[in-house]
């Protein structure tokens, strides 16, 4: 058991501790001082001193070890006695450490204690010794006047003698970075920040970016759509349902698995009439709807925003059709071509 470790702890807590059979260790305060021979200032510190006085016994160390090691008082006393005997025997041949307080050794047949190497104590902010610079002053020249003549006032004035300071191991700091280099670094950082801001505006808000550059964005007109109609069910052309007559596209018939592509309905129709919009997506914001229109345009789908769609969402349509069946045929054809999502659906809208 390292009894010296517990001695160091108690010495730190109480400032002194008695080791039965050895003596008393005291943590003494030493004031700061100047060593003229070494030309060095030493800060205040604590130093451990040994008092070989065995007249007074103290059970503080015994009880402390018993509590820490969870052993009996008799066992703790036995370990301390054994440690003291070993310390005295080893001190006959060399130095023996006592925790971090110092070392014991035999000198002139007496047990002597030498404190550990002095270090900055945290109670004094860990200050270390400071070596003073030597100051050398030049001797004052004597003023010799001729006999019978009074010295001039200029000669009586004390000459301006500047002290000469010896500098040992003077360390000069590096010159600071030139102001021009710092200015270029700041300019470069500002340019990078502006470039990132412009890129973010173009990426996430194209409308604001175009407005900033003064560009005029023209709305894309809803193109005419082509509808695939099953010829096994109907061979008749789509007719107008009101007085304004619904416009139709005249396109050539194309055979696709016994189905014929016919023009989709264009225009809104007269009030009270009904058309079927092929809804492909719905959005809460106009920005996302416009982005989706560009995406469908790249796929070859002429999608557009339904202006009179019910609800608060902005709905995109791939075409308007006279009947739900014709809208479903067109929807299946676009889904098969992987141009729209499978959750697309036909929506009947009544003209107002």
Q: Is pLDDT at 34 greater than 70 in this prediction?
A: yes
Percent above pLDDT 70 for the chain: 66
Long-range Cβ contacts of 94-100 (<8 Å, 24+ apart): 97/4, 98/4, 98/7, 98/8, 98/25, 99/2, 99/4, 99/5, 99/6, 99/7, 99/8, 99/11, 100/4, 100/8
Q: Is pLDDT at 140 greater than 50 in this prediction?
A: yes
H helix or E strand, kind and range, residue 98:
strand 96-98
Note the pLDDT of residue 126: 56
Note the pLDDT of residue 30: 79
Phi/psi for 313 (5° steps) reads: -80, 150
CATH class of this structure's domain 226-350: alpha beta
Residue whose entry in the numeric block shows the structure tokens 């007559």: 245
Q: Span 339-352, mean pLDDT?
A: 90
Q: Tens of pLDDT along 243-291?
A: 333 343 333 333 333 333 344 444 445 677 889 999 999 999 999 999 9
Q: Tens of pLDDT along 99-112?
A: 888 888 998 888 89
Half-sphere exposure of 100 (CA within 13 A, CB side): 8
- Provide the pLDDT confidence category of residue 22 given band limits of 50, 70 and 90: confident
Q: Span 187-199, mean pLDDT?
A: 91
Note the pLDDT of residue 248: 35
Half-sphere exposure of 14 (CA within 13 A, CB side): 15
Structure tokens at 290: 């416009």
Note the pLDDT of residue 220: 47
- Provide the pLDDT confidence category of residue 202 given band limits of 50, 70 and 90: confident
Angstrom distance (rounded) from CA 190 to CA 58: 73
- The domain spans of the chain are 3-124, 179-213, 226-350
């Amino acid at each position: 058991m390292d009894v010296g470790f517990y001695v160091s702890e108690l010495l730190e807590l109480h400032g002194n501790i008695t080791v039965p059979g050895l003596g008393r260790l005291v943590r003494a305060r030493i004031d700061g001082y100047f060593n003229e021979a070494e030309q060095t200032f030493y800060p205040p510190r604590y130093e451990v001193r040994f008092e070989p006085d065995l007249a007074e016994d103290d059970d503080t160390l015994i009880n402390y070890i018993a509590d820490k090691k969870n052993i009996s008082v008799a066992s703790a006393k036995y370990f301390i006695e054994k440690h003291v005997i070993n310390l005295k025997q080893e001190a006959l041949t060399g130095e023996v450490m006592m925790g971090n307080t110092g070392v014991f050794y035999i000198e002139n047949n007496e047990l002597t204690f030498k404190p550990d190497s002095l270090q900055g104590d945290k109670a004094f902010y860990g200050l270390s010794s400071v070596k003073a610079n030597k100051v050398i002053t030049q001797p004052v020249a004597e003023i010799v006047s001729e006999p019978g003549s009074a010295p001039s006032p200029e000669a009586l004035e004390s000459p301006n003698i500047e002290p000469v300071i010896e500098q040992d191991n003077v360390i000069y700091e590096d010159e600071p970075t030139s102001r021009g280099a710092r200015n270029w670094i700041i300019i470069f950082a500002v340019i990078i920040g502006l470039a990132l801001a412009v890129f973010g505006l173009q990426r996430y808000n194209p409308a604001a970016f175009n407005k900033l550059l003064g560009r005029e964005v023209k709305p894309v007109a809803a193109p005419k759509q082509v509808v695939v109609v099953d010829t096994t069910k109907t061979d008749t052309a789509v007719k107008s349902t009101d007085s304004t007559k619904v416009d139709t596209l005249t396109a050539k018939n194309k055979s696709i698995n016994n189905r014929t592509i016919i023009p989709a309905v264009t225009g809104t129709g007269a009030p009270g009439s009904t058309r079927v919009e092929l809804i492909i997506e719905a959005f809460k914001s106009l920005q996302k709807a416009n982005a989706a229109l560009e995406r469908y345009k790249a796929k070859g789908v002429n999608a557009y925003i339904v202006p009179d769609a019910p609800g608060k969402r902005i709905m995109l349509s791939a075409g308007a059709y006279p009947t739900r069946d014709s809208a479903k045929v067109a929807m299946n054809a676009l889904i098969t071509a992987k141009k729209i999502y499978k959750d697309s659906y036909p929506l009947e809208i009544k003209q107002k």
